[in-house]
Amino acid sequence: MAYVGPDEARVQALVAKFAEIRQDKPLAPAARSAIALGCTPVAPKHFRIIKRLAEYGFFRAGGILIGTHAFLAIGNMLGVRWLAGAATLDVDFAHAGRNVSVALPASIKLDVLGALESLEMGLLPITQFNGSAGAQYRNPKDQELRIDFVTSMTRDNKTVVLPDLNLALEPLKFMEFSLEQTTQGCVFGNAGSCAVNLPAPERFAVHKLIVYGERPVSERVKSKKDLLQAASLASYFSENGQADVFNAAWQDALQRGKGWKERALQGRSALISLAPDLANPELWAD
């Protein structure tokens, strides 16, 4: 708090002007223009979460937006509007954990939990059996909103805790594929926009094929969405003369071991069954 003078007209005008400046959203008109011209926005409550984490420095600290919101942002980056695979109730983020491959200041500190609490959206961390905060956040009164923080698989398969970020990360198999060679893009909402880190589009697509082969039968709905997103991106690369870019990521996945190859081939088979026109040999050359 700060004392700015007695309660008089001049001071009231100063307070009003300060409140107006705080509420000013200079990027909102530009963001709405971009949306009107074809960019795809995210749901308002999801945009608030992504933007708040951006304001707190999550992406400067190596955080990456993944999942369907990344798919939407990639579409905006490539200049296309997706016709399928764009619906979601989750907001997913990833971080390389202790294996950060970018140069970050050793003194960097961030309070992810504080950022989420500041939104006052009722988001609570799901507590683990050992009593510590987990890597998933939910609002008990809003079952349609869930936030997940993930990282690449660790040797002990335990939740990775980053004290400097006040963040817990759930390790997932094959996640490192999307965490390599990342790029940047924009997330749009009616209230504005923000820059985020994203997986490279070609790696995002191939990773979706690998994940398809990993999901159990009980997650058929998500598996279908994985295929739709992979097919959309594969179609983009095929139709825009960039099949070699997609193929480089595909070859990278095949060369990572037997488990990677089996899942990737299973995903490719399902994708071509879904979209036979994507049986372009330039995409899948070994």
- Name the amino acid, one letter, at 205: A
Which residues of the chain register pLDDT less than 50? 100-106, 129
For residue 22, what pLDDT is reported?
56
> Is the entire prediction scored with pTM above 0.95?
no
For residue 101, what pLDDT is reported?
45
For residue 249, what pLDDT is reported?
97
For residue 6, what pLDDT is reported?
82
For residue 53, what pLDDT is reported?
92
For residue 270, what pLDDT is reported?
92
For residue 185, what pLDDT is reported?
95
For residue 10, what pLDDT is reported?
80
For residue 110, what pLDDT is reported?
76
Q: What region does 280 belong to: left with phi over 0, alpha with psi -120 to 50, or beta?
A: beta
